[in-house]
Amino acid sequence: MLTSSQPEERVGAAIGEFIVDLSVLEQSEQLKHCFPDRERSHRTESIFAHPSLNCFAALGAPLRRQVRQTLIDWLRDDHSPLFEDNLVRDSVFVPMEHAKMHLPFNIGSFTDFMCSDVHVENARSLVHPYYIDSDTLTLMQCSRIAGVLVPPSHYAMPLGYNSRASSVIIGNEPIYRPRGMIRNAETGEYSFLPSQKMDYEAELAFFMSEPVPMGVTITAEQAYDHIFGFVILNDWSARDIQLAEMAPLGPLNGKGFASSISPWVVTLDAIQNARCTSTAADLCEGGTLELLICAMQTAMLHGILRWRYQSTVGLLER
């Protein structure tokens, strides 16, 4: 966040209608015990006086959990560092209406997975575009094209592609209609035109946390240690541009012109109490029923979510 009184971008935590400025709390002697390695090595660089959560996310799950619990304990204690000094209190609690939000992370890469049976079946129309007539093209997002099969690999693992990290923006930024090569369904000719078939997909996204060494594969069992938190994502699409370019190498400008995310990241620890059992497939050892966040429960009850988010982490390696 940033404010008019302090224009430097920094990290905060949402508490009701306020933001707790963690860059101010970081200066507290009581919070320093959460960073023992920094104290022992006499490192002075800030964790929260940064424009992104990257530094904090890289610290590891146990340390992040300790910082979170410390903040919760302080909010419950009228005599904590949050409340015992009026000057500190006034500088720590920032009204949300006075803050401007920005991207929560410095995003180095962005992978888009298809984890839902319905999503994959609807997307079949984009796999073999030359077999689609003009009527089917109009309805391609709600029609299942006879004779175009769901890839067998979808039932073995989550399928994904590397998207464009530089076009990820927060939700209140404007979306500009992209231009690209579009195929005329009647003549078969291509023209450079503004997209006339824009839509979006409401999705759940997560940020990785601890750095992964080159060549190391993350298993589904290790996923919880490498997931920092979740955001809502609007996956913008220009279907006519995507249709023209997708075969055989996959989407490019039709999917990479914008992806909107919420500025607030909900950590994995913050939603532990909302976990529930799931019948979604997983890649963990033994493949037994695991726990999933209840925000996905509706999708699972209708049988459309095949892969859990932990399973996608197992496919990410450097």
Q: Which residues are catalytic?
A: 119
- Token code pair at residue 164: 């464009």
Q: How far apart are CA 205 and CA 268, in angstroms?
A: 12
CB 203 within 8 A of CB 233: yes
| CA–centroid distance for 166 within its chain | 14
Q: How far apart are CA 280 and CA 293, in angstroms?
A: 12
CB 199 within 8 A of CB 237: yes
Residue type, 180: G
Tell me which H or E stretch contains 41. helix 36-41
Q: How far apart are CA 1 and CA 51, in angstroms?
A: 8
Residues, the chain = 318
CA angle 69, 73, 78 (to 5 degrees): 160
Q: How far apart are CA 214 and CA 3, in angstroms?
A: 38
CA angle 31, 34, 37 (to 5 degrees): 125
Enumerate the β-bridge partners of residue 182.
191
- Beta-carbon contacts of residue 316 (< 8 Å; ≥ 6 apart): 111, 208, 212, 218
